[in-house]
Structure 1
Amino acid sequence: MIDDNPSVYKLVSCVGWTTADELYSCSEDHQILRWNLLTSETSLVVKLQEDLFPIDLHWFPKTVGGKKQSQAEIFVLTSTDGKFHLVSKTGRIEKSVEAHKGAVLAGRWNYDGTALITAGEDGQIKIWSKSGMLRSTLAQQGSPVYSVAWGPDSDRILYTSGRLLIIKPLQPSAKVLQWKAHDGIILKVDWNSVNYLILSSGEDCKYKVWDSYGRLLYTSSSHDYPVTSVSWSPDGEVFAMGSFNTLRLCDKTGIGTQTLS
């Protein structure tokens, strides 16, 4: 249990890993916290401005092909104001980009750091350059897209559509895979490039683990509140799940191993 410094006081809206031992979280109290899993220490990175409500965060990949990336010290933070923000490790906002009508519900770098994908309340999925220039609109849904993730080879994307999960190849002629995954709206997904496993969580207060073909491997018991965030550690050995006043680590099979708050 990590409980000495700042804690998660409200809904945990998003979690993101820098390494297998360091985790960042954002919540409705506008705080970005850093969790050191080796020392069990928690620290406040920054208190965001009161009118910025974070929804999702994702770190720029640290290494590509074994080479350290110069942009590895930034993350993308999406928010309710229709923008995504490029933020330094110290919490400084380096750039803000108008991206969607309504909230930007998800933002993810691809695995080689050459592109960023966002999904919005407007039902659109867009691909951006790493500097924030719009490249294309990949999909248009009739309802909000709450979460999106790149496939392990960055040649497919996984996104939500109500209770459905959809895997869409970037190649237009390739087959789309979709399946009903939850009994409520799906709020968050993640797809790991090491173990190839998919995470999903939703308003049915459960999180689930799937293989890349949509086959169910694990489903959690029902929690007291919707599970609003799930995120793989870079090595694929554990993942974090967040809910109201809750941040917990689970092993790759889905079993909870450590409660952080």
Structure 2
Amino acid sequence: MRTDILNYHSLALSNDTIAIRDKVDEKLVHVFDASTGKALGDGKPIAHKFDVMEIGLDQYGPASERRLSIVDKNRDLHLTSVRTVGKTQQIIKLGTMISSLSWNDTTNILSALQDGKLSVWYYPNAVYVDKELLSKTILEKDTSEFGKNPNLVSFLGNHLTIRRADGSLVSTGIIPYPAMLHELVYGNRWEDAVRLCRFVKDPAMWGCLAAMAAYAKELNTAEIAYAAIDEADKVEFIIHIKEIPSKEARSAEMALFCGNSQDAEGILLQGGLIFRAIMMNIELYNWDRALELAVKHKTHVDTVLAYRQKFLDDFDKKETNKRFLQYAEGVEVNWEKIEAKIENEYQKERDKPDKYRK
């Protein structure tokens, strides 16, 4: 570690996390726990495809959800999580042609100067929930008033400070409502969050609330927010999820809704819902994983084989997977028995409803 080569481009700090760009290999970012100094994740640095030019850390919320922003040599902006033990590292693109960026000091709102405009992502975490919402939760302002080559200095409260090319400082502001919405959501005050959005009547606020509620698996609020931005298909899907009697199954469906199939499977297995975990993998065409779960737990092997054969028949193909050929020899596929077993599994869930549904 050489402190003389550290600067605000290569070093990022929050209350619980330190991120430092590797000097030798600039594609790597090392992330440490601020209190213990231990490397986070699996002990390996975050590896990007291109050289990293600038990094930043969000400042609010639990340490387990800390996000790192990365601007690479192509001036593309990416977002990733810094704590990913047992999970695949996801680096997701947020924007292009970024000249400078700054996280808000009190809420996880991200600002950046890009291609002649100031962009403010009210809820950048939406990219992990529903990418379609990202464009609906962003504010864009023209930067011609700041002259050529302006640079973001700070983002404090609702005010952004920008340095012009001649060195002078100018400021601009954003509406206070997104920060208020963040506070209400972090305090689990969902009804107040809905009231705020109804008062403001801004589609960007509803988009933020929809993503926040989906991420927190707050189904009633997610349904209201998605309805407010005319996402009828997603409202129908959320209503379908609310009808599922098992809390674990609902949580898994919401994780799947957010594109986190690994988390969804983990929730189901932890809740003892082996059948749902197998069916989820079948529906995602993860055939090897579905068979692996069925064999490991000695249940529904015939179900997996039956759906696999139906899938192959639909495309007029023959089985070539050695494992499926191996188990097909000793397992009888009887659709009547399989359908009865499936109905029995769903009945077990219905017999143990929880108090969530309203």
TM-score range relative to shorter protein: 0.3 to 0.5
Structure possessing the higher radius of gyration over alpha carbons = 2
TM-score by length of 2: 0.35
Question: Normalized per residue, which structure has more helix?
Answer: 2
Question: Normalized per residue, which structure has more strand?
Answer: 1
TM-score by length of 1: 0.47
Higher relative contact order (CA 8 A, sep 6+): 1
